Amino acid sequence: MEKKEAVDLKYSSTRGNGVKLDSAQAIIQGLAADGGLFVPDSMPKVDAAFIASLGELSYEERAAKVLGLFLTDYTADEVKGCVARAYGSNKFDAAMRAPVKVFDDLGVLELWHGPTSAFKDMALQLLPQLMSTALKKTGEQDKVLILVATSGDTGKAALEGFCDVDQIKIMVFYPEGGVSRIQQLQMLTQEGANVNVTAVRGNFDDAQSGVKSIFGDKAFNEELGKKGVKLSSANSINWGRLVPQIVYYFSAYADLVKAGKIEAGDEINFTVPTGNFGDILAGFYAKCMGLPVHKLICASNANNVLTDFLRTGVYDRNRDFYKTITPSMDILISSNLERLLYHMTGDTARVAGWMQELSATGRYDIGAELLQKIQQTFWADWTSDADTKELIGRVYKDKHYVPDTHTAVAWKVAENYQQATGDDRYMVIASTASPYKFNGSVLEALGVDTAGLDEFAMLDRLQELNDDPTPQGLASLRTKAQRHDGVCACEGMRQAVLAFAEA
């Protein structure tokens, strides 16, 4: 067994305020005081022996090994305990938690076997355990109030993860009319004494900007502090949300070696459906650590701000916003890109400058030299709703496999990448949600007339066509009572937070 790296990792802001924290403190705080995101001061490195050692391990054991390299202030037993509580078989319906469905030409990394049927469970089952342990380790007495803006999946996964966790309350804001009906039902039926769900009149970017503005409001935070309440985040701006996602890149690689699809040391490619840039950034961390990854392919829908950025070096959110059949990617402000810019430049002043420009004008330009450096690792493309549906129908016909809409975006972009480059390295597609979460769009793609079918009739119809059963968490929505009905304007979010904090 390799020893844990002796390096005591510290975390500091991408915008360079000089404060260095342990991972437990960074996880409790969520966002740095200067508005930046916490990043590790150095990157743990692994060798071929470390990667080979993962082959015969369970997902929980793999997770403990990888996480231990980043959470150096947690004891090995604390990390193992967090992992065991997060990834128990009572919560995940697949033995390997994040299994790879292996086809001859590619692998599909299924990240949706957790309680809410989306990849967010991989992180949001673990984050509450990490945060709860961090509160005990640091002797924090205040209550923590988690604020979440969601485009659909994060909200339910965070509610499920934090439900009835001691010393923590959670409040989720989602865009009214901007999530699928299943996603909405999942949130509105959430049980737990410490949870609140509120719709915001606006889109996801409005909800996320509102949450960020509340985090950055010193006077408001002081007011909460007097009431013994401290704000934190469960969005992927929180380091404790991002670090669990690194694990499944290593796990997928180990599984592919084991399945004989690749040899140890072979480089592979990952295509990731991308909104807030957290999932694909975890793949970047895995590559920086030493996992043999050639390219990370960033797949977008019609809200293709990241495609344009990774092709031109100009990030410009001043554009039309589209509601698509991939709502979790209907995002124009990709928060985690800030972390990539920091790691690529090491220059906190430049990062802070770009973020200031983004805030003031909605755009920034990183220049040709840095773009070229980023393009050595990243490739980007986008696909339309029509092409996404075409792919779902074709994959079902060819492989009798049903991808959800977000997975289909990645699959289509992976095809585009291979056609454009001729790169024949083994490709892994990150499958971020169960098809049952987006049953209407998936059924339409399969040529089924959904007129007159409600959500549950659609679940039943999809079940008839699909080998995988309807996930229990979705099937049970039929009989669950709606418990939340809050709605507010963007400017009413502070008041809503205050009311819940005092409740």
Looking at the fold, whether 275 and 390 belong to one and the same domain comes out as yes
Looking at the fold, whether 378 and 489 belong to one and the same domain comes out as no
Looking at the fold, whether 222 and 271 belong to one and the same domain comes out as no
Q: Which two tokens stand for residue 461?
A: 């119809």
Counting beta carbons within 10 angstroms of the beta carbon of residue 485, is it exposed (0 to 12), middle (13 to 18) or buried (19 or more)?
exposed
Which residue stretches of the chain have pLDDT < 70? 1-6
Q: Is residue 185 part of a domain?
A: yes
Q: Is residue 133 part of a domain?
A: no
Domain of residue 174, CATH code: 3.40.50.1100
Looking at the fold, whether 265 and 178 belong to one and the same domain comes out as no
Which of 388, 414, 435 corresponds to the end of one domain?
435
Residue 1: its pLDDT value, please?
A: 39
In sequence order, which residues have a C-beta less than 8 Å from that of residue 287 and are 6 or more positions away?
Answer: 293, 296, 377
User: Residue 353 in contact with residue 309, Cβ under 8 Å?
Assistant: no
Based on C-alpha coordinates, what's the Rg of the chain?
21
Q: Is residue 450 part of a domain?
A: yes
Counting beta carbons within 10 angstroms of the beta carbon of residue 7, is it exposed (0 to 12), middle (13 to 18) or buried (19 or more)?
middle
Residue 469: its pLDDT value, please?
A: 92
Looking at the fold, whether 265 and 357 belong to one and the same domain comes out as yes
Looking at the fold, whether 111 and 157 belong to one and the same domain comes out as no
Kindly list the catalytic residues. 120
Residue 6: its pLDDT value, please?
A: 54
Looking at the fold, whether 423 and 371 belong to one and the same domain comes out as yes
Q: What is the pTM of this model?
A: 0.93
Q: Is residue 78 part of a domain?
A: no
Q: Is residue 197 part of a domain?
A: yes
In whole angstroms, how far apart are CA 124 and each of 40, 133, 158, 359?
20, 15, 5, 28
Q: Which letter, b or e, does each residue of 108-124 get, where b requires 16 or more Cβ atoms within 10 Å of its Cβ?
A: bbbbbbbbbbbbbbbbb
Which of 416, 435, 454 corresponds to the end of one domain?
435
Q: Is residue 124 part of a domain?
A: no
Which of 386, 409, 435 corresponds to the end of one domain?
435
Q: Is residue 63 part of a domain?
A: no
Residues in the chain: 503
User: Residue 190 in contact with residue 178, Cβ under 8 Å?
Assistant: no
Closest CA to 303 of 322, 279, 285, 284: 322
User: Residue 160 in contact with residue 248, Cβ under 8 Å?
Assistant: no
Looking at the fold, whether 199 and 284 belong to one and the same domain comes out as no
The total of structural domains in the chain comes to: 3
Residue 3: its pLDDT value, please?
A: 41
Looking at the fold, whether 252 and 366 belong to one and the same domain comes out as yes
Looking at the fold, whether 344 and 259 belong to one and the same domain comes out as yes
Looking at the fold, whether 304 and 257 belong to one and the same domain comes out as yes
Q: Is residue 168 part of a domain?
A: yes
Looking at the fold, whether 316 and 371 belong to one and the same domain comes out as yes
pLDDT by residue (tens digit) across 442-474? 999 999 999 999 999 999 999 999 988 999 999
Per the structure, the complete domain to which residue 462 belongs is given by 436-470
